[in-house]
Amino acid sequence: MYNSKIVGLGYYVPESVVTNDELSTMMDTNDEWIQERTGIKERRWVKDSGETTSTMGVKAAKVAIERAGIDKDDIDFIVFATLSPDLYFPGPGVQVQEALAIKTVGAIDIRNQCSGFVYGIAVADQFIKTGMYKNILVVGSELHSHGLDKTTRGRGVSVIFGDGAGAAVLTREEDRSKGILSTHLHSQGEHAEELTLKAPGMGKRWVNDIIADNDPNDESYYPYMNGKFVFKNAVLRFSEVIMEGLMANKLKVEDIDMLIPHQANLRISQFIQKKFKLQDRQVFNNIQNYGNTTAASIPIALTEAWELGKIKEGDTVVLAAFGSGFTWGSVIIKW
């Protein structure tokens, strides 16, 4: 058995910055209202540039591969996490394989929304631990902006989300005391419809139903979120899964050098930081600048924290996410 280790990180966000003030020209909202509830000041949205979820993922992947110091053909497997694929099927994993001209390795798509990158890391970690693969590319990428209800009706959701991509290259680590020490995954499907997008869907409304009705007031193809309920569950599950990971490795809260939480809402991150009595230097947040980029949020934040020198060799790094499904998880890393 081996451990896996992150050896390359990269991210990409669109050039177009959308401020809260700009959103106030589209819907009944304002900067104070958005910042008070979410902590978000601005986000990046793709604007008529031809960018897609897969092309953003490719750009992030190229940076991660270069920083890993390997050739693209050293990649043995691709894991792509997203809720906003270019195509309903196939998923973007194969598009990354094509765009990077990587040999015909396997590609798998993860549909775990906000927990997608954590689940992707867990999948890659297991493949490497067993010796099946040596180098795995894990991508999280989202293009939310083209699917949001940018009217007052949808403001509770639309002000939160941004576009972007992040990527990591994992490789085999012989020293079992280094790299990814453990991963912890959970789900609770009874709350699936508290944070969801119902259409198109075979069990709800399929494309032909939407076309037949031609109803401009049909909200089934816009995201829905029961915000207060999601917040309540998020702070509980974040706490539980972080502690689960620490206990599995005989670590204490004070051993955390850097916590990278999924950037869902700054208020959730602040709640967790206060509960665990962590100092500002022990938690990294960038939702203020990018909004919630779902599966891309952790790799973007992880890359930024590393670039800024906030993560050093030997540090204990914790990744944690909670989102639609409900699904949640954590990753404990000895950097």
Tokens of 168: 């990591």
First to last CA, the chain: 19
- 292 classed as catalytic: yes
Query: From the DSSP assignment, how many helices (H) and strands (E) are in the chain?
Result: 11, 13
Residue 24: exposure state from Cβ atoms within 10 A (0-12, 13-18, ≥19)? middle
Residue 202: exposure state from Cβ atoms within 10 A (0-12, 13-18, ≥19)? exposed
Catalytic residue among 112, 184, 262, 265: 262
- 191 classed as catalytic: no
**Burial per residue of 35-71, b for 16 or more beta-carbon CB atoms within 10 angstroms, e otherwise:** eebbbbbbbbbbeeeebbbbbbbbbbbbbbbebbebe
CA-to-CA dists, residue 319 to 159, 230, 299, angstroms: 24, 19, 10
Which SS3 state, helix, strand or coil, does residue 99 take?
A: helix
Catalytic residue among 114, 144, 233, 285: 114
3-state helix, strand, coil in the chain (%, to 5): 40, 25, 35
d(CA 122, CA 301): 18
Task: Return the residue matching tokens 């992880």.
Answer: 302
d(CA 197, CA 190): 15
Tokens of 161: 């989300």
Catalytic residue among 112, 233, 285, 292: 292
CB of 235 closer than 8 Å to CB of 262:
no
DSSP 8-state class, residue 283? B
Task: Return the residue matching tokens 């177009």.
Answer: 16
CB of 317 closer than 8 Å to CB of 258:
yes
- 30 classed as catalytic: no
The catalytic residues are 114, 262, 292
